[in-house]
Amino acid sequence: MQTHSLPDKNGYFGEFGGRFVPPELESALKILTQKYYQLRKNRSFQNELHAMYKEYAGRPSNLYFAQNLTNKIGGAKIYLKREDLNHTGAHKINNCIGQGLIAYHMGKKKLIAETGAGQHGVATATIAAYFGMRCDIYMGARDIDAQKPNVYRMKILGANVITVTQGQSTLKDAVDAALTAYVKEPDSYYLLGSAVGPHPYPVMVRDFQKIIGKEARIQILKKEGKLPKAVVACVGGGSNAMGAFFAFLPDKEVVLIAVEPAGKGEDSNRHGLSLGKGKVTLIHGFKTLTLQDKDGNIAESYSAASGLDYPGVGPELSFLKTTKRLTCVNATDKQAVNAFVELSKTEGIIPALESAHAVHYGVLLAKKMKKDDVIIINLSGRGDKDVEHVYETFLK
Ligand SMILES: Cc1ncc(COP(=O)(O)O)c(C=O)c1O
């Protein structure tokens, strides 16, 4: 099956995806699906979207040759796709612009969203301000503690930040709380932040993020006259990874590398390796690979990077893993923190702790490659939000 033609009309990527929701949500998501498929092929919607990418987010983002890092490593040429330079500091704004426009076209007056690292919350609060909409952001108490700067930003942008204390008080619980709130307020718009959830979210989010790989492919051909050997991205729910990979899917010679959080180690029980170790089940209204305990319940996930701390993964990535188009690897907290410091000191670029997982693996890979090889690492966000937490927890 042509990967570019997925999902099917019911939102399936092979056996993954679909929509498993209560009737109150089913009717709202059916309307959203119809609206999205209408707008997707509407030229004036696409013009609005691309005008906002350019004028509001500051796209195209640079494809930066990391010369110092490359020289230090002594292997393949390392390019960084600078999503950290977007307005609000991460790839999340691409999706929020797209879904914000949909909400606007549907006449919605309020956005509801979950957030882990706070980047999606900030991007949603930003778009709510832009469109003059009200905004409720659900965030786990543990993440609120770790990502204070983003909490202040959301509040200054006019959003209500609602603390979630159920479960582990992290991203999965924030999604649960946001979905519960949305069921009670179906007139609002639920702006999901990753390529997860019931149909049509995985396809919508991927479509709004695929600009990353589309630009990177054009940029690398212009700069190097050839395609990269590999594209490397970190994986939480999978939106920056799907965004970076999608344009390269037909280029079979380009290895697509998904870097998951190994937290305290892949043999510990404290990681977020849904692709690496997950089994098929339902989570948040869709079917995918998830972490499970021995009784088949969703198990707790963990990562020092709040944005990667999710016990499931987007259905398209599960599909690409099982069809062997994806290479799945991981980085521990410690390896990510080392990469965070190394990129900061060699290039003067402080990456998000999430993105530092991709940097760790990209550097390992580049070391083993030839000097005229090229790789692209998707630098999904900037690390301002992480500096206090990383410094106090790991470096002091
Ligand atoms: C900077 C950054 N990168 C990556 C992620 C992980 O999300 P996704 O897998 O959807 O790209 C997040 C999530 O908050 C993030 O803030």
Whether 114 is a known active-site residue: answer yes
Q: Are the C-beta atoms of residues 164 and 178 closer than 8 Å to each other?
A: no
Length of the chain measured in residues = 396
At 6-37, the pLDDT tens digits run 999 999 999 999 999 999 899 999 999 999 99
Of 61, 239, 306, 380, which one is the catalytic site residue? Answer: 380
Q: Which residue owns the Cα nearest ligand 1 atom 14?
A: 307
At 272-302, the pLDDT tens digits run 999 999 999 999 999 999 999 999 999 999 9
- The verdict on whether omega for the bond into residue 261 sits within 30 degrees of 0, i.e. cis, is no
Q: How confident is the model at residue 5 (pLDDT cuts 50, 70, 90)?
A: confident
**For residue 84, which atom of ligand 1 is closest to its CA?**
1
Q: What is the pLDDT of residue 201?
A: 98
| Gap between the Cα atoms of 53 and 212, Å rounded | 11
pLDDT, mean of residues 84-110: 98
Q: Which residue owns the Cα nearest ligand 1 atom 6?
A: 236
Between the CA of 371 and the centroid of ligand 1 the distance, in Å, is 30
Bridge partners, 287 (sequence order): 17, 282
Q: Which residue owns the Cα nearest ligand 1 atom 12?
A: 307
**For residue 196, which atom of ligand 1 is closest to its CA?**
10
Between the CA of 118 and the centroid of ligand 1 the distance, in Å, is 9
Choose the residue to mutate in 245, 354, 390 for probing ligand 1, maximizing ligand atoms within 8 Å of C-beta. 354
Of 81, 83, 108, 114, which one is the catalytic site residue? Answer: 114
User: pLDDT over 70 for what percent of the chain?
Assistant: 99
Say whether pLDDT at 2 is over 90.
no
- Those residues whose C-beta lies under 8 Å from the C-beta of residue 347, and which sit 6 or more positions away, are 66, 68, 69, 80
Q: Which residue owns the Cα nearest ligand 1 atom 5?
A: 307
Residues with CB under 6 A from ligand 1: 90, 116-117, 119-120, 194, 234-241, 307-308, 352, 354-355, 380-381
- The reply to whether domains 21-53+91-206 and 59-89+210-395 share a CATH topology is yes
| Gap between the Cα atoms of 77 and 160, Å rounded | 44
Choose the residue to mutate in 83, 87, 92, 93 for probing ligand 1, maximizing ligand atoms within 8 Å of C-beta. 92
- Pick from 194, 226, 189: nearest CA to 209: 194
**For residue 209, which atom of ligand 1 is closest to its CA?**
11
| Gap between the Cα atoms of 346 and 316, Å rounded | 35
Between the CA of 259 and the centroid of ligand 1 the distance, in Å, is 12
Between the CA of 334 and the centroid of ligand 1 the distance, in Å, is 18
Token pair belonging to 253 = 């010679």
Bridge partners, 351 (sequence order): 382
Which CATH fold would you assign to the domain 21-53+91-206?
A: Rossmann fold (3.40.50)
Say whether pLDDT at 45 is over 50.
yes
Q: How confident is the model at residue 187 (pLDDT cuts 50, 70, 90)?
A: confident
Q: What is the pLDDT of residue 225?
A: 98
Q: Which CATH number fits domain 59-89+210-395: 3.30.1330.30, 1.10.10.10, 3.40.50.1100, 3.50.50.60?
A: 3.40.50.1100
| Gap between the Cα atoms of 142 and 170, Å rounded | 6
The rounded mean pLDDT for the chain is: 97
- Classify residue 40 by burial, with Cβ atoms within 10 Å: 0-12, 13-18, 19+: middle
Between the CA of 238 and the centroid of ligand 1 the distance, in Å, is 8
Between the CA of 200 and the centroid of ligand 1 the distance, in Å, is 19
Q: Are the C-beta atoms of residues 294 and 222 closer than 8 Å to each other?
A: no
**For residue 238, which atom of ligand 1 is closest to its CA?**
9
Q: Which residue owns the Cα nearest ligand 1 atom 13?
A: 307
pLDDT, mean of residues 227-239: 98
Nearest 5°: the CA angle 338, 342, 347 is: 155
| Gap between the Cα atoms of 318 and 339, Å rounded | 26
Say whether pLDDT at 1 is over 50.
no
- Pick from 49, 45, 31, 60: nearest CA to 98: 49
Q: Are the C-beta atoms of residues 124 and 159 closer than 8 Å to each other?
A: yes
At 242-264, the pLDDT tens digits run 999 999 999 999 999 999 999 99
Strand 134-140: give its sheet, edge to edge. 160-164, 134-140, 110-115, 189-190
C-alpha distances (whole Å) from 78 to each of 215, 228, 385 are: 17, 10, 25
C-alpha distances (whole Å) from 295 to each of 134, 176, 299 are: 41, 21, 10
Say whether pLDDT at 4 is over 90.
no
| Gap between the Cα atoms of 145 and 285, Å rounded | 28
Enumerate the domain spans of the chain.
21-53+91-206, 59-89+210-395
C-alpha distances (whole Å) from 178 to each of 126, 191, 248 are: 18, 10, 33
Say whether pLDDT at 3 is over 70.
no
- Those residues whose C-beta lies under 8 Å from the C-beta of residue 337, and which sit 6 or more positions away, are 304, 353, 356, 390, 394, 395
- Those residues whose C-beta lies under 8 Å from the C-beta of residue 176, and which sit 6 or more positions away, are 164, 166, 167, 284
Whether 380 is a known active-site residue: answer yes
Q: What is the pLDDT of residue 186?
A: 78
At 355-391, the pLDDT tens digits run 999 999 999 999 999 999 999 999 999 999 999 999 9
User: pLDDT over 90 for what percent of the chain?
Assistant: 97
